[in-house]
A and B are shown apart, each in its own frame.
Chain A
Amino acid sequence: MDDHGLFRSGVRSELGGQVEVVGEADDVEPAIALITESVPDVVLLDVHLPGGGGQVVVAAIKATHPQVRFLALSASDAPEDVIAVIRAGARGYVTKTISGPELVDAVRRVAAGDAVFSPRLAGFVLDAFAAAPAASGDGPSFDPELDQLTPREREVLRLIARGYTYREIARELYISVKTVESHVSSVLRKLQLSTRHQLTRWAAERRLN
């Protein structure tokens, strides 16, 4: 779902044949109606929809249909918006410059319950979590389980940011692709569940710059 018709038809033709496209919408209201009606496996979602942005759609659908998965897709890369959509519940984020086969792959991955991290998102996440020196008095809400990345997760994110695929990361770190996927999913979970002020403050700081 995207507010540019041209782009939607482009995606449709790229996905054509390999993924069943059940519908498309160009605004928040019709999108929610369409998703509620057709209950797709995966919703491709522009971060910047007119009428409230992608996170409104994610939040609305998550409440009624928790099984629908979202993949955020965007040309604008304002990190705070991307993080907001992810925190609302999207399973991944790719840029609109992604190639057709890669997009199909990403959709499959999200459908299977995995997280999809583009290099850019990996960069944002590293940035957001690095912005806070660990355990620097974040108050009682600081939860090392949720509010900090493990060194391994950090390593995986770095490799994603460097342009490695999951398979290449697995080979590089001598772990299985499944393990890479579980690391990434755990990062996603932390990103969504962390109540740390740091994440919101980070986004606010970015907005100021």
Chain B
Amino acid sequence: MEERTGWLGYRYRRRGPLGWVRGPRGSGPLRRGKDDRLAGGVAAGLASRMGFDVNVVRLVFIVATLVTGGSFAVGYVLAWLLVPADGADGNIASQAVTDRRGIAVAVGLGSLLVVVWIIANVLGAGGLSNLAWPLGLCIAGIVLIWRNAPADEQATMRQLAEPLLSVTGGGGRSRTVLRALLAALLLVGGLTTLLSGHHRSAVLRPLGGVALVIAGIVVLLGPWWLRIARDLVLERQARARAEGRADMAAQLHDSVLQTLALIQRRADDPQRVIQLARAQERELRSWLFDGRVPGSMGEAGLTLADGVRLIQQEVEAQHGIAVEAVTVGDCDLDDDLTALLAAAREATVNAGKWSGADVVSLFAEVEPTEVSLFVRDRGRGFDPDAVPGDRKGLAESVCARMARRGGSAIVRSIPGEGTEVSLTMPRAAGERLPSRT
């Protein structure tokens, strides 16, 4: 089998007599092809799924588009939007629904086209108005794809559009004048054909007139439309880059730079420096490799294990005590469990402040009916009955908070041996997630 790269990077293959059969049928869900796509890769994906040659599928597509009067092309664009590309996580449509500006542009362009065709229809070119809707929908869909496709697909599209851009994109006064002249000529020609056609009610002439009017509008406004589209793309890329950089700067400032400053100030306290470094390392790792934003407690989508990890990071960073955190199972947070975490945090901070121990153990277990959390230190301990009434840490923040939510808190402390706070919160029936650490 010979392979060479031709126009637009499309690869031609030469085969034996049975060239249209490509090979064994693929399996798994339909994915848009990545390597041998011409536009969206729908044909390529379908071909590899069914075991046909790409070109056969393409031919079928083209014939189907002609036969259905363009409706099939809408199907193609829809498939482009909805079928995920090979190896991609999601489809383009899921991106596109959040792209408000793209939707606006798509609706604008699509509707503009439809309006033009409706005008043409009113002026008597009825035969072609069937094309209006498919064309409008296609344009709208392609605009959405253009704005939301991943970078490699955008590159393919840019390649496709390149001939257009190079012809119309150039500035220069003479070109503009030329274009205006041509447009005026086409418009005048089209209008006269239309008007004269009205009288004679011939079939072909209005058609030609409409075509000329459209051509005039396109020649006049086309470059502008294209420039809008191109500017939108450029602007979007620039914005994405800037946002990425700002994000990273903010992140590094909040975490690494702060910690480095703290370390410089605490250079004489090795224990503290180690803790700061350890906490920072953990935070940086979880940000770089797991995509978890540090300090994002209380945001939606957090799980119990995330919460425990946050407590660990915070307390280690702020109170200079190592926290050994272990979680078994995981579940999404609700109000009750957020309260449980808040109580656990308070208990951990208490241990960090008062126990004098080097390490606090934090153990959380998610069971089908309840979540238990234990905070234990091997520090100096205290006599629970002897705590003065104005020291509200444990009583108010931990025990009362748990009680308000229907949970329970037990504090066991032996002077000289340490303290353990056991927290239990019944949980609404929910799925037990596998934990991740």
Interface positions of A (Cβ within 8 A of B): 77-79, 97, 99, 119-120, 122-123, 126-127, 130-131, 158, 161-164, 202, 205-206, 209
B321 to chain A minimum Cβ distance, whole angstroms, is: 12
Query: By the criterion CB–CB under 8 Å, are B324 and A120 in contact?
Result: yes
Question: A163-B361, A163-B376 are contacts. A206–B328 as well, Cβ < 8 Å?
Answer: no
A123 to B436, CA, bound (A): 11
Query: By the criterion CB–CB under 8 Å, are A163 and B436 in contact?
Result: no
Q: Restricting to B356-393, which residues have a CB under 8 Å from any CB of A?
A: 358-361, 363, 365, 374, 376-378
Can you list 5 residue pairs at the A/B interface with Cβ under 8 Å? A78-B437, A127-B328, A127-B434, A163-B324, A163-B377
Query: By the criterion CB–CB under 8 Å, are A122 and B326 in contact?
Result: yes
A131 to B329, CA, bound (A): 8
Of the candidates B365, B420, B437, which one forms a contact with A79 in the assembled complex, judged by CB atoms under 8 Å apart?
A: B437
- Interface residue count on the B side (C-beta < 8 Å): 22
Chain A residues with Cβ below 8 Å from B420 are 162
Question: A130-B329, A162-B374 are contacts. A123–B434 as well, Cβ < 8 Å?
Answer: no
Nearest residue, chain A, Cβ from B420: A162
Chain B residues with Cβ below 8 Å from A206 are 434-437
Chain B residues with Cβ below 8 Å from A209 are 434, 436
A187 to chain B minimum Cβ distance, whole angstroms, is: 14
Chain A residues with Cβ below 8 Å from B378 are 163
Of the candidates A131, A158, A163, A164, which one forms a contact with B365 in the assembled complex, judged by CB atoms under 8 Å apart?
A: A158
Query: By the criterion CB–CB under 8 Å, are B278 and A123 in contact?
Result: no
Chain B residues with Cβ below 8 Å from A77 are 437
A130 to B435, CA, bound (A): 11
Query: By the criterion CB–CB under 8 Å, are A123 and B374 in contact?
Result: no
A49 to chain B minimum Cβ distance, whole angstroms, is: 19
Query: By the criterion CB–CB under 8 Å, are B434 and A205 in contact?
Result: yes
Chain A residues with Cβ below 8 Å from B437 are 77-79, 206
A166 to B197, CA, bound (A): 100
CB-CB nearest 8 A-B residue pairs: A163-B361, A123-B326, A209-B436, A162-B363, A126-B328, A162-B374, A161-B363, A161-B326
Question: A77-B437, A79-B437 are contacts. A123–B363 as well, Cβ < 8 Å?
Answer: yes
B399 to chain A minimum Cβ distance, whole angstroms, is: 19
Query: By the criterion CB–CB under 8 Å, are B363 and A158 in contact?
Result: yes
Interface string of B209-245 (1 = CB under 8 A from A): 0000000000000000000000000000000000000
Q: Restricting to B319-352, which residues have a CB under 8 Å from any CB of A?
A: 322, 324, 326-329
A164 to B328, CA, bound (A): 16
Query: By the criterion CB–CB under 8 Å, are B434 and A131 in contact?
Result: yes
Chain A residues with Cβ below 8 Å from B328 are 123, 126-127, 130, 161
Chain A residues with Cβ below 8 Å from B360 are 163
A30 to B102, CA, bound (A): 59
Known: A119-B363, A127-B328; 20 extra A-B contacts, CB below 8 A, are A78-B437, A79-B437, A97-B324, A119-B361, A123-B326, A123-B327, A123-B328, A126-B328, A126-B365, A127-B329, A130-B328, A161-B328, A161-B361, A161-B365, A162-B420, A163-B363, A163-B374, A205-B434, A209-B434, A209-B436
Q: Restricting to B37-79, which residues have a CB under 8 Å from any CB of A?
A: none
Of the candidates A78, A130, A162, which one forms a contact with B361 in the assembled complex, judged by CB atoms under 8 Å apart?
A: A162
Interface positions of B (Cβ within 8 A of A): 278, 322, 324, 326-329, 358-361, 363, 365, 374, 376-378, 420, 434-437
Query: By the criterion CB–CB under 8 Å, are A119 and B324 in contact?
Result: yes
A209 to B278, CA, bound (A): 23
Query: By the criterion CB–CB under 8 Å, are A97 and B278 in contact?
Result: yes
Chain B residues with Cβ below 8 Å from A99 are 358
Query: By the criterion CB–CB under 8 Å, are A119 and B326 in contact?
Result: yes
A161 to B374, CA, bound (A): 9
Chain B residues with Cβ below 8 Å from A123 are 326-328, 363
Query: By the criterion CB–CB under 8 Å, are A97 and B322 in contact?
Result: yes
Chain B residues with Cβ below 8 Å from A130 are 328-329
Chain B residues with Cβ below 8 Å from A161 are 326, 328, 361, 363, 365
A137 to chain B minimum Cβ distance, whole angstroms, is: 18
B164 to chain A minimum Cβ distance, whole angstroms, is: 44
A135 to chain B minimum Cβ distance, whole angstroms, is: 16
Nearest residue, chain B, Cβ from A163: B361
Chain A residues with Cβ below 8 Å from B376 are 162-164
Q: Which of B278, B363, B374 has the most CB of A within 10 A?
A: B363
Chain B residues with Cβ below 8 Å from A97 are 278, 322, 324
A122 to B435, CA, bound (A): 14
Nearest residue, chain B, Cβ from A129: B328
A201 to chain B minimum Cβ distance, whole angstroms, is: 10
Chain A residues with Cβ below 8 Å from B358 are 99
A78 to B286, CA, bound (A): 12
Of the candidates A120, A131, A205, which one forms a contact with B326 in the assembled complex, judged by CB atoms under 8 Å apart?
A: A120
A206 to B326, CA, bound (A): 15
B122 to chain A minimum Cβ distance, whole angstroms, is: 58
A117 to chain B minimum Cβ distance, whole angstroms, is: 11
A14 to chain B minimum Cβ distance, whole angstroms, is: 14
Nearest residue, chain B, Cβ from A120: B326
Chain A residues with Cβ below 8 Å from B434 are 127, 131, 202, 205-206, 209
A97 to B363, CA, bound (A): 17
